[in-house]
Structure formats: structure tokens, C-alpha cells
Amino acid sequence: MVRVTSPAALLLLTLGVAGCRGAASDPPDRPEVTVATLNLMNQAADWPARRARLAWELGPLAADVIAFQEVLDVEGAVRQTDWLRSLPGTCRFDPMIVYEGKAPFGLAVVSRLPIVGGSAVELPSTEDDPRLLQRVLLETPTGPLLVANTHLSAGKDAAALRHAQAEAIAAALPRGGPTVLVGDFNAPWGAPELDPLRERFRDAWTAAGRDPSIPTRDPTNPLVASSGAAAARIDLVLVEGFDANPRAARRFADRPDDAGTWPSDHAGVAVRLVLPDVQSQIVIESPPEWE
């Protein structure tokens, strides 16, 4: 069990996404939080050049929480975790696998909000391609917020495995407070394998009034075109326990710089959420592995 009492003196942060647009129906009199997700594409395709482009994107984004997938620390290179720790906030990294005993590969969350707990849960997967659910508990001006980050198995033949992973994710996320589930799901929101998540979560992108056909994996990006993958919106922000619609949503890291460098083979997604009404105390039941 993690017990979090929201301190009355907690500084109310200025939260938001620069340039966001979407369906805004509630008056701006409640605190907001911006949560984003991005697949880093590990260290492939000239990582130093991509890193510079990403830094240019992330500065004005000013997200309060950013979840990353495909984070890789290659020996002898600039470690991606070192770069993430240089960003504003606190970084938590959970490796899914360590290649050749020296190159951790996994999931990371960078948060400007205080991290008060966290753990990683193994998901059903093949022995050579382990998958995780990363759970991070944050303190916000209105109480605790659970942010979960994942990267489901890829491939058309992995639909049944993704369904099992979705079931495991739903079972591993405690109820009782606001939850944001983000990541690279390797399947669009309407795919049957995500049924266990649709029973519980809302798609923040469409709830914010955005076009569901806008892809995050887009073959107009040459890093995608070279793989032959079709256009699809597979990078998702899913929400539970929010009593107001997301105020805005946008893509980011979705275009090249003047030299033609694309930040990743995925576009990022950022969503601005209205935090629930203030609660003096919230108790979240969770498995023993929570810190």
C-alpha cells in the first residue's frame, strides 16, 4: 500500500503544452498536468543528430511528465539515460533486457512532479523479447497521480500476445485514483487485442476532440517508410479517473529539421489534463513490489 497525503503547502505549478489545441469545455480554474509519450527509437539512425532535434522539440513542449520507450544505453556512446537525466525533472529507468550483459534497454519516465513511488511489472512475453509495465506514482497539487508506461510486442502475428499483455496491464493498475496509461502499443486503439484496456480507459486523443485517423507511425517519415509499416496511431495516452475531458492534445517530434533529421520513427503525443477535484488524502492499494 502507498499512502499519499497531499500537502496543503505544495506549490501549484504552471502546467501546459505549448501550441496544444483541442476540445476545452471547462473553465481554466483547476490545475492541469501535461503528460507526453515518445518512442526514442533506441540509438539507431544517427542518435546524436536526433537527440539535438529532440532537445529542440522538448524545450517548448514543457511537459510535466514524459514517458519514453526504447531507451538504450550503448557502451562507449552517450547513454540515453544520462541524456534523459539532463532534462528538467527526475528520471526513473526500468530495463526490460540487458543486451550482451552491458546495454540496458527499456522504459523511462521523466517527471517535473515529485516521484513518490514506482515499480516495474513483467508482462507476458517471449524469452528473447521481454516486456514491462512501468508504474510511477507522482504527487500533484491535488493528490497522487499514477502514470504507467509500456511498450507492447510488435508484429502482425503478435496480436494474441498483445491481448495477454493488455489483460496483465489492466490487472496490474490499482483503482482508486487518477491513472494515465501511455506508451507504444503497436496496435491502434480500435484493435481487438486492446479490448481489456478499452473496458476501463478512455483514449485522451479523441476525448480532446482530435481526429482519430492522424497517425503517430507515418510513412511520410523516411525512418518509417524504410520499414514498410503502414500508417497507424499506435502511440496512445489513455486515462481513467478524470472527471473532465482532456483540455488539449497534440503531436510533437513529428517533422524533420532543416537538415532532414527526423527525431524518431514515431511521433510523440502530449495531452493536457484537468486534474480531479482536490482530495486531502488518497489511498492506492498496490502489489507488494511497490517501493
What is the CATH number for 279? 3.60.10.10
> Does residue 282 register a pLDDT over 90?
no
In a domain, 38, yes or no: yes
> Does residue 281 register a pLDDT over 80?
no
Residue 279 CB: number of other CB atoms within 10 A? 14
pLDDT at residue number 192: 98
CB within 8 Å of 223: residues ≥ 6 apart: 41, 45, 262, 264, 265
CB of 6 closer than 8 Å to CB of 278: yes
* Nearest-angstrom CA–CA distance, 257 and 251: 16
In a domain, 3, yes or no: no
Residue 211 CB: number of other CB atoms within 10 A? 8
Chain-centroid distance, C-alpha 39: 9
pLDDT at residue number 278: 58
In a domain, 139, yes or no: yes
* Nearest-angstrom CA–CA distance, 26 and 202: 18
CB of 82 closer than 8 Å to CB of 95: no
**pLDDT single digits (tens) 7-31:** 222 222 222 333 333 344 454 578 9
pLDDT at residue number 102: 87
Write out the residue range of the structural domain in which residue 221 sits. Answer: 32-284
**pLDDT single digits (tens) 45-80:** 999 999 999 999 999 999 999 999 999 998 877 899
In a domain, 24, yes or no: no
Location of C-alpha cell 536526433: 50
Location of C-alpha cell 527525431: 263
pLDDT at residue number 28: 55
Average pLDDT rounded to a whole number, residues 175-200: 96
pLDDT at residue number 259: 95
CB of 225 closer than 8 Å to CB of 29: no
In a domain, 12, yes or no: no
Residue 82 CB: number of other CB atoms within 10 A? 11
Average pLDDT rounded to a whole number, residues 31-51: 96
**pLDDT single digits (tens) 96-134:** 999 988 899 999 999 999 999 999 999 999 999 999 999
In a domain, 6, yes or no: no
- C-alpha pair distances (Å), 195 with each of 115, 155, 167, 199: 30, 18, 9, 6
Location of C-alpha cell 491502434: 188
Express as a percent the part of the chain with pLDDT over 70.
Answer: 86
In a domain, 70, yes or no: yes
pTM metric for this prediction? 0.87
User: What average pLDDT is seen over the chain?
Assistant: 87
pLDDT at residue number 288: 39
In a domain, 16, yes or no: no
Number of domains in the chain: 1
pLDDT at residue number 101: 84
**pLDDT single digits (tens) 133-170:** 999 999 999 999 999 999 999 999 999 999 999 999 99
CB of 144 closer than 8 Å to CB of 4: yes
Q: Residue 205 carries which DSSP code?
A: H
